[in-house]
C-alpha cells in the first residue's frame, strides 16, 4: 500500500507525516523518502528524548547522574527525568549540540523554556537525526550505542506493535502519545532504527495528529491523563493501524525489505 492510498481518506483536520532514510557504506545507494499531509511541523516530545539523552551526556560530568535520568527517559519515556536533563544542560545548549552533530536545527519552545515537549519538528528531520545517531553508534560512539540499546528495551506496551509490523524484533523503537486539553487531535508517533550490519542503517518515522473531537470522549481522556493512567490503548484505537502502515510503507519505499532479513542485534 502506497502513501496515497493511506492518506486519501484522512479527515481534513488530521496531520500525518512519515519519513525514512537508508544509507551506509557498502550497502545500496543512500535513499530518503517522506510525505506530509496537514501541518508541516508537529510536536512529538517522546521521539526527541533519546536524542536529548545522547547529547546531554557530554555536558553532565557525573556519568552516574546522567544515566540515572537518561535511561528512564528513553526506556519508559519518563517526563520527569527528561526534564531534569533538559534543565540541567539547558534547552539552547542541547538543541545547539544536536545541530552541530546532526545538521538538524530545532528551536526552543516559545514562552516557558521548561516545556521540552513543545519543540516542533518534521518527520524528515527526526529521521536524519536518528540516522546520524545510529551510524555514530556503529562507528564507536559508546553513548550512542547505549542509547540504541535502551531503545531496544522499550517494552511492547509502548511500541504500538511497530517491531512486529516491520518484521524486526531487534529494532530500536521509541514511541509517544499525547493530547493536550486545548487540542482537538490525539498525537501518536514512533521511530524505528534498524541496523543492517556494518555502517548500514535504516530509519523510519511516523507522526500522526488525528481528530478526537467528541467532547465527552475528550473529557474522559483528560480525566484519565490527569490521574496518570496509561493511555496507549486509546491511542492505539485512534492511530495504531495507520501508524504501523506508515512505517511499513516507508520501509517498502526505501527498499528495506528487499535487502534481505533484518540484521539487527
Q: What average pLDDT does the segment 75-88 reach?
A: 96
Cell numbers of 71, please?
Answer: 535511561
Residue 217 Cα to chain centre, angstroms: 26
pLDDT at res. 265: 37
Separation CA 1–CA 230 (nearest Å): 31
Residue 142, pLDDT > 70, answer: yes
Residues near 141 by beta carbon (within 8 Å), at least 6 away in sequence:
none
Tell which wins on pLDDT, 149 or 213.
149
Query: Among 187, 192, 242, 234, which Cα is nearest to 210's?
Result: 187
Residue 133, pLDDT > 80, answer: yes
pLDDT, tens only, 169-191: 999 999 999 998 888 899 999 99
Separation CA 178–CA 105 (nearest Å): 23
Residue 261, pLDDT > 80, answer: no
pLDDT at res. 100: 98
pLDDT at res. 262: 47
Q: What SS3 state is found at 107?
A: coil
Tell which wins on pLDDT, 113 or 66.
66
Burial of 111 (0-12, 13-18, 19+ CB in 10 A): exposed
pLDDT at res. 259: 66
pLDDT at res. 173: 98
Separation CA 36–CA 58 (nearest Å): 34
* Mean confidence (pLDDT) of the chain: 93
Cell numbers of 216, please?
Answer: 465527552
Separation CA 92–CA 108 (nearest Å): 6
The least confident of 15-19, 87-91, 187-191, 255-259 is: 255-259
CA distances from 91 to 56, 95, 114, 187, 233 (A): 10, 6, 8, 23, 31
Going by pLDDT thresholds of 50, 70 and 90, the confidence category of residue 260 is low
Separation CA 40–CA 17 (nearest Å): 8
Q: What average pLDDT does the segment 133-154 reach?
A: 96
Query: What's the predicted TM-score (pTM) here?
Result: 0.95
The least confident of 111-115, 209-213, 221-225, 243-247 is: 111-115
End-to-end CA distance of the chain: 28
| For the chain, counts of helices (H) and of strands (E) | 11, 7
pLDDT, tens only, 17-76: 999 999 998 877 889 999 999 999 999 999 999 999 999 999 999 999 999 999 999 999
Q: Give per-residue burial for 114-132: e unless 16+ CB within 10 Å, then b.
A: ebbbbbebbbbbbbbbbbb
The least confident of 65-69, 212-216, 222-226 is: 212-216
Q: Cell 490525539 maps to which residue? A: 186
Amino acid at each position: 500500500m502506497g502513501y496515497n492510498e493511506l492518506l486519501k481518506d484522512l479527515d481534513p483536520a488530521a496531520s500525518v507525516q512519515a519519513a525514512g532514510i537508508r544509507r551506509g557504506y557498502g550497502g545500496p545507494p543512500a535513499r530518503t523518502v517522506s510525505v506530509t499531509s496537514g501541518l508541516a511541523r508537529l510536536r512529538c516530545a517522546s521521539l526527541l528524548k533519546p536524542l536529548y539523552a545522547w547529547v546531554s551526556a557530554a555536558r553532565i560530568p557525573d556519568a552516574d547522574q546522567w544515566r540515572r535520568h537518561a535511561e528512564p527517559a528513553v526506556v519508559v519515556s519518563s517526563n520527569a527525568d527528561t526534564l531534569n536533563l533538559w534543565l540541567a544542560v539547558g534547552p539552547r545548549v542541547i538543541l545547539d549540540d544536536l545541530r552541530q552533530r546532526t545538521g538538524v536545527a530545532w528551536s526552543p519552545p516559545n514562552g516557558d523554556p521548561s516545556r521540552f515537549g513543545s519543540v516542533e519538528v518534521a518527520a524528515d528531520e527526526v529521521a536524519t537525526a536518528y540516522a546520524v545517531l545510529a551510524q555514530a553508534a556503529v562507528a564507536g560512539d559508546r553513548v550512542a550505542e547505549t542509547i540504541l540499546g535502551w531503545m531496544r528495551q522499550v517494552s511492547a506496551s509502548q511500541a504500538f506493535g511497530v517491531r512486529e509490523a516491520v518484521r524486526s524484533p531487534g529494532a530500536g523503537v521509541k514511541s509517544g502519545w499525547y493530547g493536550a486539553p486545548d487540542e482537538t487531535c490525539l498525537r501518536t508517533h514512533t521511530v524505528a532504527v534498524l541496523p543492517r550490519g556494518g555502517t548500514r542503517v535504516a530509519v523510519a518515522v511516523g507522526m500522526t495528529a488525528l481528530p478526537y473531537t467528541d467532547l465527552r470522549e475528550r473529557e474522559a481522556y483528560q480525566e484519565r491523563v490527569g490521574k496518570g493512567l496509561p493511555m496507549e490503548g486509546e491511542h492505539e484505537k485512534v492511530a495504531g493501524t495507520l501508524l504501523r502502515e506508515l512505517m511499513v510503507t516507508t520501509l517498502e519505499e526505501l527498499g528495506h525489505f528487499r535487502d534481505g532479513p533484518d540484521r539487527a542485534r
